[in-house]
Amino acid sequence: MRAVGIVATGSYLPKEEVGNEELAAAAGVTPEWILARTRISSRRFAAAGESTADLAVRAAERALDRIDPAELGHVIVSTSTADTPQPPVSVTVQHAVGATGAACFDVNAVCSGFVYGLAVAKDLVAESGRPVLVVAADVYSRILDFSDRRTAVLFGDGAGAAVVGPVPGPALGSAPGSAPGSAPSGFLGFELASDGSRQGLIRVEDGFFRMEGRQVKEFVLERVPPALAALAARHGHSLSDVDVFIPHQANGVLVTELAERAGLGGALMPRTVDRYGNVGSASVAVTLDEANRAGMVRHGDLVLLAGFGGGMAIGAGLLRWAAQEEER
């Protein structure tokens, strides 16, 4: 059995930085109100001619800077803000980066979509041995009602990417004796869940993004911690074993409450929400890339990824980080 993990990451944020002062008046609040309730001080908005596909391509290129795109078996793009109903964003990415041998498809699980894409990619790599590019990109600035303080102050635009492929070390379930004394490398497992009875909590209505913030918070704090604990327990761990926790950067206050409720206070928790806001499906991917490039994720770390949001959906992934040889 081959171990499968994340072998490279990348991200891209648009250049335009939008501070709280620029949004406060239209939303009927103050900059101080925004910061206190979200811990967000700025976010990035795509330029007028910059599409979701453009962001996705930039993030993909950065993840592939040391990988030959011709080796990719698949390109998966997670987005809930595709530029058009068709073609899928993934084929635009494939063409732009030169992944001529890759099959392409998009997934839409909103803010959980990147983790859903990783779960699919893991199985594809395990079967074929060929790496898979997973990109998450969203442009929410074009569907925001800037008079709605519940949503307008939270969201930004961005894209993140990861290459999933074989990694050094034993796979989960490898035959005894294959790597004496070493823990399984790469992905240990995933926890994916959806609750369609609450689909109305987050929606696009008459062209604008809408969210029932209080009920979304209740869903996250009620449903996400047990899902994370169940995933860890299924693979012989408790959440206290987690070294690095990378949750969806929905809201700075909510992320802190979630970590405390789940008992993850001892884990390193990188943040990007303060600078980029909530970038939807790209949130976990962007934060993972920044943490990886900053050396915050080290070889052997137990890493927990957690997406949650529209659907309502939860996507969590647990992996033992396996750095490539040149990074050790």
Catalytic residue among 111, 237, 292, 299: 111
3-state DSSP assignment of residue 222: helix
Q: Please give the biggest Cα pair distance in the chain.
A: 64
CA–CA gap between residue 29 and residue 23 (Å, rounded): 9
292 is catalytic: no
Catalytic residue among 74, 104, 248, 292: 248
CA angle 23, 24, 27 (to 5 degrees): 90
Catalytic residue among 20, 74, 251, 278: 278
* Cα–Cα distances in angstroms (integers) from residue 66 to residues 92, 179, 291, in the given order: 21, 28, 18
CA–CA gap between residue 9 and residue 52 (Å, rounded): 18
CA–CA gap between residue 134 and residue 56 (Å, rounded): 10
104 is catalytic: no
HEC readout, 278-328: ECCCHHHHHHHHHHHHCCCCCCCCEEEEEEEECCCEEEEEEEECCCCHHHC
Residues facing residue 106 across a β-bridge: 77
111 is catalytic: yes
* Cα–Cα distances in angstroms (integers) from residue 36 to residues 154, 218, 229, in the given order: 12, 19, 29
- The catalytic residues are 111, 248, 278
